[in-house]
Structure 1
Amino acid sequence: MTDGLRVRPGQVRLLGPVELAGPVGPVPLAAGARRLLAVLGLRGGEVVGWAQLSAAGLDPVALDRDSAALAGALARAGLRGALQTRASGMRLSGRYVDALRYHDELRRARSRRTAGDLPAAVALYDRALARWRSGTPLDGAALAGWAEAEAKRLRDSRTRAREERWDCVLRQAADAVRASGAPVADRAAVRAGIEGTRAAQEAATELEAGVAKHPLRERRWELLLTATLLSRGRAAARSVYERALRTFADQLGVEPGERLRALAAAAERGDIAELPAPPRPEPRAPRRVAAPPVPLTSLLGREALLDDIAVRLAGHRLVTLVGPGGAGKTRLAIAAAGRPWGADGPVAWFVDLSVVDRPGRVPAAVAETLGLREDPGLDPVDAIAEEIGPHAVLLVLDNCEHLVAGCGELARQLLARCPRLRILATSRAPLRAEDESVVPVPPLPVPAAGTGHTLAELATHAATRLFLERAQARSGRPVPEGSADAVAQLCAELDGLPLAIELAAARTPLLSVPEIVARIRTDQRLLHSPDPTAPARHRTVAAAVESSLEQLGPDVQRFFERLAVFAGGFDADAADALRAGTCSDPTALDQLVDASLVEQGSGRYRLLMPIRRHALARLHADVPAARTAHAAHYLRLAESADADLRGHAQESGLARLRADAANLRAAMAWLAEARPSAVPFGDLRLATALAMFCRIEGHYREARGWLAAALARHPRAPALLRGAAAADAAMLAMLLCDYSAAAEYAGSARAAYRALGDRRAEARVEMILGSVARERAQYEASAAHLDKAAAIYVECGDELGEARAVQLRGFTAWLAGDFDRAELRLRACRRWFERLGDAEASASALMNLGAVALYRGDTDRATSLLDAALERYAALGFPEGVGWAHNLRGLVELRTGRADRAEEHLALSLATHRKVGDRWRTASVLEALAEVHRRDDPTRAAELLADASRIRDEIGAPVPACERPDTEATAAALRAALGDGTPLPARALIPPL
C-alpha cells in the first residue's frame, strides 16, 4: 500500500512486441533479458530446463547476466520474486503473463461454446482477443528451436480463436433465422427475424480477407459461405463455393472437403440447419500393431530431451524431432513412445518410412505397416482414420525427410478426423504442418578437448560416455585410462554426433583410440559400420549425408560442398560469397538448414565436423576456386573492419573479426600458400589488414610473422601497400621489444610515405618511432617524434590522430617523471576520446591518468581511475591494456602496504605480458614483485630483480625514470638484507643500478 492506494503489479506482455509493463509504464529491458523473458513467458509457471533454454537460442555464457538483469527489471515492475532459479532450470511465475491469461480465457470460451452458451462464449472470445496488441507478436525477441515453434503456435491460436468466435456469432444468427420461420431468400424477413445480419456482414468482410491470406484453409471457406448466406443470400453463397472449388482445383488438384460440400448443398436449398454428424460404428479397442522396435542399447544423455518431448506431446498433437542424420532421432522417438503413459495412455504404432520412394505413397505405406486390408475402392487415409477412430494412439512416423509434403498432408488429414491421435515424427526437416511443434535434436555435448581428463570424468559427459560404453561392448575390454585425453579429442572431432561416435567405437577391436583420432582426419572410410544388417543410411556418416543431399538440387549440392572450406562458423554474407557463380538459388542456405546439413544459431551457421569432412571429400577439384572465393571474402571483411579499428568504430570492427578469427587464419594460410592471381598481393593485404586486430588481441608474434613473410614474398608490391605493411611490422616489433627491427621497418615505411606524399601515414610512423624511443628511455627523442606527429595531424585536419599523438606524449612525460606536463596532456586527450567515441584510447587515458596519480602519491584517485580503465579494457578484450592496468594496480597496493593484493595484480599482469610477448613490461612487473617479496623471501626477490635486469640488457631498455627510485630502493634493501655473506645462486646476484 502506498498513500492508501494499492500499487498495481506489472505484466509480462507477449501478445505483441515483448514488453515488461510496470505500474507506471514499460520497464526498459536489454536484448538478452528480453529474450529470456519471452522464452520463460512462453512456458510461464513451468520450470524451463537449462538444455531447453539453450535450445531456444539463449547464450548459456550470458545467462547469469541476463537473468540478473531480468530479475532487477521484474522487481522494478512490481514483480519481485517472479523469476526463480532452480537446479533443473528457471521458472517465471505465469500469473502476470498475458499469453497465459489469454489461453485461460480461450479455454473457458471453448468450454462455453461446447456447452451451447454462445453469447457467453462470444464475450469470452472477445475478452481473450482483446489482449492482443498491435505489432508483430513476440517482436523484439529473436527466438529459436522450440521457443520459435511455441511462438508460431501462439500466433496460429489467434487465427483459430477468431474463426471460433465468428462460428459462435454465425450460429446465433442461424438460430435466430430458424426461429423466425422466414425463408433465407426473403432479405426483409431475415432482418426482421435476427439482429445478427450486421454481424454476419462483418464476419463476411473479415473472412474474405482471411481467405485471401490462407486460401487452402477450409474452415475459413465454411465460415465465409455461412456468413455470405446469412448476409447476402443463396446466389452470393453459391459464388463463394464456386471460388472455393476453383481455388482447391488450381492449387491442390482436389475438391474441398466433405463438410464444405455439405454446407454448399444446404445453402443451395436455403437450409441453414446444423448438419447431422455422420453415423459412426461402435468404438472398439485399437489393435496392438506396428509396435516400436525394442532397442538393444541404452539411451544416453537425452533425459532432458525426453522430458521436453513428453511436454510437447501433452500440449501438441504433432511433434517432429528434427536433426542431422545420425543424431539419434529414431532412437529418441522409440524411447519417447515406450515411456509409461498410464491406463488411458495411447497405443504406440511405429512406421518406418525410409524405404518409401515418393510422398504420394506415404498413406499406403502407413496402412500397409498397420496391416490394413488393401481395397482399391478405399482411400488409405480413410482406412487409417477408421482404424484409429476415437482411440488414443501415438503414431510414430520415422524418417520423413524425403517425404515431407506427403507426411505433412497425412498428418493434417488424420489429426482433423481422429480427435485423440498424436503423431511423433522424425525428420531432417520440419513437416511445415499446422500446429507442428518442432523439437531440435542436437549432437551430444562433449567435454573440452585438452589434457588431464580421466575416464571417470568422461563418463559424466554423454558423448564420451557413449564412446566408452560402445567401445567396451565392441572390444570386450574397457578403454585404457591413458587414452582418456584421446577419447575427449575424438568426440570433439566428431562434434558429438552419435552415429559417428558409434562407428568410431566399432574400430576399437583393431585400433587404439589415439590411432583412430590420427586416421579419422584423413580417412573417411574409417567411419564405416562392420554390421551388414545396419540400415544403409547408418553404415557410414557419408551415407547419412548423401541421403539428405539426394533431396536437393545439383546447384545446392555444389554450394554445400563449397561450405566445407569454412573454418568454424560463418554468416549469411560469407555463404553468399561462396554461392556466387555456383548456385543462383537465394534460398540454398535455408534449404541446407532445413535438411539439417547446416546448423543455424544467433545469426551464424556451421557444419558439424563429420558433415564438413564429407563435404570436403566431395569438393575435389573445386577446392582452389572455393578457397580463393573464401579468402577474397575475408580479405574484404578484414579491410573493412581494419578501417573501423583505426577510426571511431573499434567495437564494431572487433566484433566482426573476432567472430571469424578461424576463417581469417584459414584465408591467410591459403593466400600465403597459393597466392592466387585472382587476389593480387592477397597475403600482404590481409596481413596488413589484420595487424591492428592482432595488436588489440595480443597476437603480436603471429601478426609480425605474417607481415615479415609477406613483405619478403612481394618485393615489388605497390609502394603504398609495402609502406603500410612496414609500418604495422614496426608497431608489432616495438610491442615485442625488438627495437632495432622496429626502427628499421619504421624507416622503410617513412621513406615510402614521404615519396608518396602521404602525410597522415607519415605521422603514424613518427608515433611508432616515438614509442620506440620512449621504451628505450630516450624521452627527448620520443617527445620530438610525437610532437612532429601531432603537428602533421593538425595539418591534415585529423582530430583523432592528433588526440592519440597527444596521449602518447603524455605517456612519455609520466614515464620521464614530468607529471605536471603529463596530466595536462592526458586530461585534454581524455575529453577528446570521450567525445570522439574511441573506447580503447579513452581507457588508455584513464590508465595513464591513474599512473600519474599513483606517482604523485594520490592512491585513492589512482585506484578509482585504474579500476575504471581495467573494466573498460576487460570489456574490450584488450590484453595489453589489462596487463598494464593490473601492473599499476599492483603498484598502488604496494604503496598502501597490501603486499598480498599487490601480488595478485602483479601475477595477472605478468601472465598477460608474457603471453603477448611484451618483455619491457615483464621486466617492470618482475621488479615490482621483487619489492613484494623483499621482506619475506629476499633470495627470491633478488632472483626476480636479476631476471628483470637480464631482460633489460637483452632488449636494450633501461628502467623507466619514474620507476627507477623504487627499483633502486628495492635493490639497496636487498643488498643490506643479504650482505651477511649468505651465498646466493648466480642468477640471484643483485645487479648494480
Structure 2
Amino acid sequence: MRTTSESEGWMMAGSAAKRHAATNLPAELTSFVGRRRERADARALLSESRLVTLTGPGGVGKTRLAWRLADDLHRTFTHGIWFVSLGELSDAEWLPHTVAGSLGLQGRSNRTAPESLVEHLRQRDALLVLDNCEHLVDACAMLIDTLLRTCPGLKVVATSREPLRIWGEAIYSVLPLASPPRGVEESTALRQYESVGLFIDRARAVVPGFELTESNRRAVADICRRLEGIPLAIELAAVRLRAMSPDEIARHLAQHADILTLGSRTAPGRQRTMTASIEWSFSLCSTEERELWARSSVFAGGFELEAARAVCAADDEAVERMPDLLQSLVDKSILVTHRQQGRTRYRMLPPIRQRGAQHLQELGEFRNVRRRHRDWYVELAERAEREWLGPRQLDWIEWLRREQGNFRVALEYCYTEPGEAEPGLRMGASLLEFGMAEGLFRPGRLWFDRLLSQAPEPTFTRLRALRTACWWAAMQGDLARAEQFLDEARCILHQLDEQDTALIDQTAGFVALFTGDIEQSIKYLTAALHGFRARGDHAQCAHTLAVQSLSYTLHGDYRQAFEAHTECVALTEPVNELWYRSHSLWIAGLAVWHQGDPETAVSLENQSLRLKRLMNEQLGIGLCLEAIAWITTAQAPERAAELIGAAQNQWDAIETSTSALPGLSHLHEQAVYRVRDTLGNDSYEAAWRSGNQLTTAAAVRLALDETAGEVADRPAGSPSHTDLMTKRERQIAELVARGFTNKDIAGRLVIAKRTVDTHIEHILSKFGFHSRNQIIAWMTEQQALDTGARSPQHDP
C-alpha cells in the first residue's frame, strides 16, 4: 500500500514522464476521496485572489488537495500549471532555482534564477503550486510576492503549515476529513463520512474486496474518530489490515491513547495525533526496518535499490536482504513506490522522512550515512562519464535526471562539511556532458563557485572542475568568466608539469568558437584531437570532432566539416551513442546545405532531430527546428515560418537562442527575411504564431512531416486514438503506463487477473503492438498529444 495524502514530493519525479506539455502534474496513482466542498471553496478563493495558501498540520491532505485543485483547473490557464515540491529542499538560496527547474527553465542564460522566472512568467497566464513552504516560509513569501507583483497573469497556490503573510494572500484552512461522532455506527450513515470512505478505499488496496460490515463497522468508526480524520494517519492505520483486524487496530488505539501526548506538548492536538500515528508505525517496525527507515531518510527525490544497498546496508548480509527490507517498508506505507523509465523508485513522505532523520541522529550515524550517500553519487557521476560513449548513454541520461535531488544533497554535504569540497569538484567535473545536455549551467556554476573557493589547491581535480565550469560559462554567454576559468586551468597545468594538454586545448577551442575566433578554435581543437587520439580517448575524440565540425562549417570549410562528422559517426554509431552523434548530424546538415544539397541536408537534420527527441534534449531540438526552417525557406516558406516560431518557443523556455553563437544568428536572420519577403508580413506573422503555440512534441512532428492525422493536430472535440479502446481498456492501458503489473491492476479494479490479461491482449491486437513497453510508450505520447489538442479557454 502507498500513502498519498500529504506532501507527495514523488509527484514531481524530476524529469519523469510528464502528464502533458502544459504542466508537470502526473496522473493519479490512488483514488482521491472526498473534499468536494474544499475544492469548490478553494476554487472560489482563487477566482478572487491571486494567492491562495492551504494551511493545516502535517498529514491533513494539503498537498493532495492542491494537486486536485490544480488538476481541476488544467484548462483554465493558457500557459500551464506547474507543481513544485519543496519538502526536501533545505537551503532557501536554492528556492528560485528549484522553481525555475520545475518550469523547465534550464539556466542557459546568465540571468539570475529570479530574473529568469519573472521574464518567463511576465506575459503568461499560469498557475504555480508551491508545496511544503513552511520550512522556507520567508524565502517563499519573498519570491511569491516578487512574482505576483511583476507577472499579472500568474496565480499561486501554496501549501504550508503556516500562512505566508504577504499582501493579497487568501488563507484556506484544510481540516481533517469528516469523522462519525459517537453513536453513529450504522453502515449507511457511516459511509457518508469522508474519513470512513478513505479508510475503506485504502483498506481495499491491502485486502481486496474489503467492505464495511456488521462485524467491523463499529471498529472502523472508532478508528476514524480516534485518528481525528487525518488522512495520512488513517492510511497508516489501514495498512495494518495486513496483519490485524479492524477490531484489533481499534483496541490498540484505545489502549495506547497516551501515545498522543508524544512530541511537543504545545503542538496542536491534531499534530500530536499525526506524530502518534507515525510513532505507532515506528514501534511496529523491527530493528532492521527502523535502521533502514533512518538511513534512507538521507535521500532526496527518491532512490533505487542499488543506491539503498550502497548507502543503507550495514554489511554484506544487509545488502542481500535489502530488497526484502524495502518491500517490508513499502508494505507498512513507510516508503511509497513508483516506476520511472522501467525502474522502481522509493520515496518517503516528508513527515515520515523527518521521523527517520530523527532516528538517524539518535543512532549517531547522521554524518557517516551522509558521507556514504555523497560517495555513492560521486561514483555515480564518474561512472556516467566513463560510460557516456556507449550503448547505455540514454539510460545514463534518464538516470542522472532522476537523481538531481540527490546530487544537490551530496553537494550540500561537500560544501557544509569542512575538508569535503574535493569530492564535490570531482562530481561536478564528471557531469560536463550531462550538464550540457540538460542546461544545468546556472545551478552548476553556483556550486562550482562555492566549492572552488573551499579547495584552492592546484590539483588535477580542480583543473577538471575549471574545465567544466568554463564550458558552462561559455554556453551562458559569460565569456569573461569562461576565459578566467581557462587561464587558471592553464596555470594549474603548468604547475603540475603536465604534458597532456588535450583537455585544455579542447576547452580553449570551445571558448574561441563563442568569441568568434574561428581560426583559433580550429587550431586548438586540432591539437586537442591529436592528444586524445594519442591516448585512445574515443569519447573525447568524438566530442572534439563534433565541435570541430561546427568550427569548420562556420569557417566555410564544408569538406573538412563533413570529414570531421564522418569520423565522429564512425566512433559513435557502432556503440549506439546518441549525444555527440546527434550534434554532428545537425552540423553535417548545415554543411551539406551550404554545398547545395538541401534534400540530403534535411535528411541529416531529421536524423539528428529523431535522436534529440529520443533524448528529450531541448537545445538540440531547437537547433534542428531552426536548421530545417533555414533549409526549406524556398520549398515550404509557410512551414519554415511555423518552425521558426516553434524554435522561438524552445528558446524562450531554455533561455537561449541562435544569437548565443556567432555565425548562427545571421542564418536565422536571413531565413526570417526570405520567408517574410515571400509570404508578406501578415502571412508570416500568422504562420509564426501558429508554430509558436505548438508543444515541443507537435513541433517535432511538424519538422519531421509526421503531423498528418496526428491527435495533436485534430480539431478540439474530434475523436482521439484512445477512442478506439473501450472504457475498461483505456483504464487498463493507463495503469500499464504507470508501471502496474497485471496482478496490481486486477486488485485495483477488483477484477480477475485473467480478465486483465484478456484486455491487454485486445489492446496489443488493436494497435499491432508486441509488448507492454509499446503500450507504455504509446500511452505516454497520447497523453501529451491529447493535451496539445485541448482548448485552454474554458474551465471544465
Compared CA separation, residues 680 and 802, structure 1 to 2 (3 A):
closer
Distance 1:783 1:804 in 2: 14
How far off its partner does 1:785 sit? 0.8
Contact 1:766 1:785 survives alignment (8 Å): yes
Separation in structure 2 between the aligned mates of residue 802 and residue 297 of structure 1, nearest angstrom: 68
Match of 2:593 in 1: 854
Q: 1:826–1:61: structure 2 CA closer, same or farther, 3 Å change rule?
A: closer
User: In the alignment, which residue of structure 2 is the partner of 1:771?
Assistant: 510
Alignment partner of 1:731 is 2:474: no
Deviation string 1:264-289 (CA, Å, 9 cap, x unpaired) is: xxxxxxxxxxxxxxxxxxxxxxxxxx
1:741 shift after superposition: 2.6
Q: Do the aligned partners of residues 576 and 829 (structure 1) sit closer, same or farther apart at CA in structure 2, a change above 3 Å counting? A: closer
User: Is the Cα–Cα contact under 8 Å of residues 704 and 729 in structure 1 kept in the other structure?
Assistant: yes
Distance (whole Å) between structure 1 residues aligned to residue 395 and residue 499 of structure 2 = 27
Residue equivalent to 2:370: 627
SS in 2 for 1:884: helix
Question: Match for residue 570 of structure 1?
Answer: 303
Q: Separation in 2 of the partners of 1:634 and 1:299?
A: 43
Structure 2 residue 405 is the aligned partner of structure 1 residue 665: no
Distance 1:879 1:724 in 2: 26
Please state if 1:842 is matched with 2:584. Answer: no
Q: Does 1:745 align with 2:485?
A: yes
Larger Rg: 1
Residues 697 and 877, structure 1, Cα contact 8 Å, conserved in 2: no
Q: How far did 1:721 drift?
A: 0.7
1:596 aligns with 2:333: yes
Partners of 1:804 and 1:528 in 2: how far apart? Answer: 61
Distance 2:221 2:382 in 1: 49
Structure 1 residues 739 and 589 mapped into 2: Cα distance closer, same or farther (>3 Å)?
Answer: same
Which residue identity is paired with 2:206? V
Distance in 1 separating the partners of 2:276 and 2:593: 67
Deviation at 1:570, TM superposition (A): 0.7
How far apart, CA to CA, are the structure 2 residues paired with 1:355 and 1:303?
14
SS of aligned partner of 2:561: helix
1:278-357 residue pairs with structure 2 within 5 A? 292=187, 294-295=189-190, 297-299=192-194, 321-322=205-206, 336-337=211-212, 349-350=216-217, 352=219
Q: 1:759 to 1:649 in 2, by over 3 A?
A: farther
Structure 2: gaps of 5 or more residues: 1-9, 21-30, 32-184, 224-235, 251-259, 689-796
Q: Which residue of 2 aligns with 1:606?
A: 347
Contact 1:737 1:918 in 2 (8 A): no
Deviation at 1:582, TM superposition (A): 9.6
- Write out per-residue CA displacement over residues 306-326 of structure 1, whole angstroms, 9 at most, x where no aligned residue: 6xx9xxxxxxxxx96439xxx
> Secondary structure at 1:764's aligned position in 2?
helix
Q: Say if 1:810 and 1:575 are closer, same or farther in 2 by CA, change over 3 A.
A: closer
State the 1:301 CA deviation: 12
- What is the TM-score when the length of structure 1 is the normalising length? 0.42
Amino acid at match of 1:598: L
In structure 2, the residue matched to 1:264 is none
Which amino acid in 1 is paired with 2:190? P
**Change in 2 beyond 3 A, CA 1:659/1:301:** farther
Distance 1:880 1:754 in 2: 35
Q: CA deviation at 1:583?
A: 11
8 Å CA contact 1:700, 1:916 repeated in 2: no
CA distance in 1, matches of 2:275, 2:193: 25
Task: Check the 8 A contact 1:558/1:583 in 2, yes or no.
Answer: no
CA gap of 1:715–1:817, structure 2 versus 1, over 3 A, is same
Counterpart-to-counterpart distance in 1, 2:200 and 2:633? 54
CA contact (8 A) 2:414 2:421 kept: no
Residue 445 of structure 2: which of 704, 710, 723 is its match?
704
The offset of 1:524, in angstroms, is 12
Tell me the SS of whatever aligns to 2:333: coil
Aligned match of 2:425: 684
After superposition, where does 1:244-255 map in structure 2 within 5 Å? none
**Post-superposition CA distance 1:571-596 (Å, at most 9, x none):** 12322344344997534333322212
2:669 corresponds in structure 1 to: 927
Structure 2 CA distance for aligned equivalents of residues 301 and 858 of structure 1: 70
**Equivalent of residue 647 in structure 2, options 906, 921, 940:** 906
Shift of 1:540: 2.2
The aligned amino acid for 1:595 is: K
Separation (CA, whole Å) in 1 of partners of 2:248 and 2:313: 33
Q: Which amino acid aligns with 1:663?
A: N
* Structure 2 match to 1:256: none
The alignment partner of 2:661 has SS state of helix
Residues 534-545 of structure 1: pairs in structure 2 closer than 5 A: 540-545=273-278
> For the structure 1 residues 843 and 926, does the alpha-carbon distance in structure 2 shift closer, same or farther, using more than 3 Å as the test?
closer
Unmatched tracts of structure 1, length 5 or more = 1-53, 65-87, 89-289, 310-318, 324-328, 339-346, 357-397, 408-423, 429-502, 504-521, 531-538, 945-993
Instruction: Report matched runs for 1:271-282 at 5 Å.
Output: none
Match of 2:460 among 703, 720, 723: 720
Offset, 1:843: 0.9
Where does residue 165 of structure 1 map in the other structure? none
Distance change >3 Å, CA 807–CA 303, structure 1 → 2: same
How far the C-alpha of 1:834 sits from its partner, in A, is: 1.0
CA distance in 2, matches of 1:836, 1:60: 26
Evaluate the alpha carbon distance shift between residue 354 and residue 709 of structure 1 in structure 2; reply closer, same or farther with a 3 A threshold: same
Report deviation, 1:744: 3.0
TM-superposed CA distance for 1:641, in Å, is: 1.9
| Cα deviation 1:4-39 (Å, max 9, x = unaligned) | xxxxxxxxxxxxxxxxxxxxxxxxxxxxxxxxxxxx
CA RMSD of aligned residues (A): 4.6
TM-score, L = length of structure 2? 0.52
CA distance in 2, matches of 1:524, 1:880: 54
1:837-986 equivalence runs, <5 A: 837-896=576-635, 897-898=637-638, 899-911=640-652, 914=655, 919-920=660-661, 923=665, 927=669, 931=673, 933=676, 936=680
Secondary structure at the aligned position of 2:512 is classed as helix
Identity %: 21
Q: Deviations over 1:533-556 (max 9, x none)?
A: xxxxxx622211111121123443
Aligned length: 473
Distance 2:576 2:373 in 1: 33
State the match for 2:436 in structure 1: 695
Provide Cα deviations, 1:664-712, integer angstroms capped at 9, x if missing partner: 112212321234x5x5623322322333322221111221222232112
